[in-house]
Amino acid sequence: MRTLRITLAYDGTDFRGWQLQAAGRTVQGELEAAVERMTGCRARIAGAGRTDAGVHALGQVASLRIETALPAAKLRLGLDSLTPDDLAILEVADAPPEFHARHSARGKTYRYRIHNHPIGSPFHRRWAWHVRAPLDRPAMRDAAARLLGTHDFSSFRLAGCDARTPVRELRRIEFAERDDDILQIELEASAFLRGMVRAIVGTLVEVGRGRRSPGEMPAILAARDRAAAGRSAPACGLYLVHVRYPPGAAAGVEGGDER
């Protein structure tokens, strides 16, 4: 029995999220079907991030236990050929028996893309949130800085989130401007609550539009109430970029940071 680590990317637009559902396409469903077709074995695959419908991934990580003698490189080629065009298999590697894509993770990085222009673009509509109004970038950066650190992020999680604790360490929020009117916000944390990134981004956009002040962030955190924060940003702009593991958690990974 082998433990495999799979790194994959996908356009989440036409998926109903990562997790298997009774109806509709899911990333997990497509991946498990491809594994069964190639190896003849049914295997339950775990994902590092259970991305919601419409959310994309540049570096999702999955793991599974399976009986197969096929080399990892051949598995990657075969699985990539068996999955649809909106899903790419970037790497397949053997991992230690105890490796689990979600439970072994020690940090995640998400990126959110905003197309900030008065006129929408057909080339961004599936992969970025179109915000027509000008955004006050310095105010957004000020607000973001007040969210850094270890806090109870209950005000930024969706109802039904099954995390055992709402306390998370938000390690980094960085802003980057692109020359095609795209504002990128990248967030790194020990782990994220369900809906946390989209709630934070939605709140930061409200600050950028002058509807909230940066100084409100501590009070929003203290409220521990989802109604205290802003509306969630849409799924189309969100990407799971990177999953961090401790040294030796997966074959071929050097140190604690795979980037």
Domains of the chain: 2-104 (3.30.70.580), 107-240 (3.30.70.660)
Helices (H) and strands (E) in the chain, counts: 5, 10
Which member of 52, 152, 162, 180 is catalytic? 52
- Output the six-digit token pair for 172: 């980094």
Instruction: Determine the length of the chain.
Output: 259
Residue spans of the chain under pLDDT 70: 250-259
162 carries an active-site annotation: no
CA atoms within 13 A on the CB side of 155: 21
How confident is the model at residue 159, as a pLDDT?
A: 83
Give me the pLDDT at residue 255, please. 31
pLDDT computed for residue 257 by the predictor? 33
